[in-house]
Amino acid sequence: MKITGFKTHDVRFPTSLHKDGSDAMNKDSDYSAAVIILQTDGELEGHGLTFTLGRGNEICEVAIQAIAPKLVGLTVEDLIADMGKTWKLLTYDSQLRWIGPEKGAIHLATAAVVNAVWDLYAKIEKKPLWRLISDFTPEQLVSIIDFRYIDDALTPEEALAILKAQEPTKAARIAEMEQNGFPAYTTSAGWLGYSDEKVRALCEEARDKFGFSVFKQKVGANQEDDIKRARLIREVVGYENATLMMDANQVWGVKQAIDWMQPLLEFKPKWIEEPTSPDDILGHAAIRKALYPATGVATGEHVQNRMIFKQMLQANAIDFVQIDSCRLGGVNEVVAVMLLAKKFGKPVCPHAGGVGLCEHVQHLSILDYVCIAGDLTDRVCEFVDHLHEHFVDPCVVKGGKYIAPSLPGYSTQLHADSITQWSWPNGPSWVQLRAEGKI
């Protein structure tokens, strides 16, 4: 089977109209996906995407178009036989590296292309991605990782030892995930632009209807409002059987983060997420030193590669590692970061939401538990209840847990009609919104 070509699409959804996704930094998000479909001379296709907030999605689509031709004409069998080599094929281009390297729009595009290959691989093997990788030997899993720039913190030999240590009990964890699912938390009730009445209703619904006991609140725009909102959420969910996290989405400087959080510590947040710039490793370390153990520090949705995560861990700057399935360079780099987190004793709690991120990270959290962590302590995966209806294999959450995906692939395939309707700028749904004067 050969890769014969590819298609790309700029797909956007008007989530800003209802303040979905609103936080202190991102007030008008239109959840969007730059999509790639890898075509073959067989019946199967590989589907990948990267996530943006609207404007700039077209840049990621162009970047995908710059990377993907490297795959055309190659046999799928050769690509999947050595996924480590395939990752390097897509990331080691000396000219494309100049507009990275391994960061920014080119790395977002890399994630889409890499994940499309993994989706195709899983479909060929007739397995969901998490199970495909869970069935790898430790040696196979180590072989997909690029240790360049991280072997001062994690060697291939150390990674292999971590994986081999989990191997004897791996089958039991696979069975557990298939039966019970992976713990989730909800951010859907905590968007900053929602009214207090809506937040109260959504918290009650999340607890009573969907079984959530872990909630996240957006903070950082107005301290008095943050205190009021935290008090409201705690009134609804309580303290004894509920966990609350807070997320500032990078809006603060270092000293401001420390000062702002002082009155919020009363509400016992498990972590403060993205308290400052995602590139400020020493800033995160200073914030953690000031706030721990009253609360932990979490970050990752904008941590752009394994090297920044390595330094965050070396500096003891974070307590929770929030890998992003489309910010890092696809499955290969995510696995590298998960192994780093295990080496440094920090739990992985993926960032999700957006378009398709929940569909991605359910696979990643499960494979982390099965193959690497071997422990659910302090591990929870974000869930946001937006736009899942647009996916062929949408994620399912019941009783506050992600149900392990069972269909072959990476759950990243959008319905063809959704792509048509919401293609930017001339999809029929966008044309209608303009005609109605809503945008």
Residues designated catalytic: 218, 351
The contacts of residue 354 (CB under 8 Å, 6+ apart) are 21, 31, 51, 384, 386, 387
Distance of CA 92 to the CA centre of its chain: 23
d(CA 336, CA 194): 37
Amino acid symbol at 225: D
Cα angle 319-325-326, degrees, rounded to a multiple of 5: 120
The contacts of residue 366 (CB under 8 Å, 6+ apart) are 130, 134, 177, 182, 402, 404
Helix and strand tally (H, E) in the chain?
17, 12
**3-state DSSP percent of the chain in helix, strand and coil, to 5:** 45, 15, 40
DSSP 76-96: HHHHHHTHHHHHHHHH--TTG
Spell out the SS3 assignment of 151-209.
CCCCCHHHHHHHHHHHHHHHHHHHHHHHHHCEEEEECCCCCCCCCHHHHHHHHHHHHHC
As to burial, measured by CB atoms within 10 angstroms (0-12 exposed, 13-18 middle, 19+ buried), residue 112 is buried
d(CA 245, CA 189): 12
d(CA 327, CA 333): 10
Strand partners, 75: 2
Whether the ω angle into residue 183 lies within 30 degrees of 0, i.e. cis, is: no
Whether the ω angle into residue 101 lies within 30 degrees of 0, i.e. cis, is: yes
Task: Show the tokens assigned to 139.
Answer: 């040696």
Strand partners, 37: 7, 47
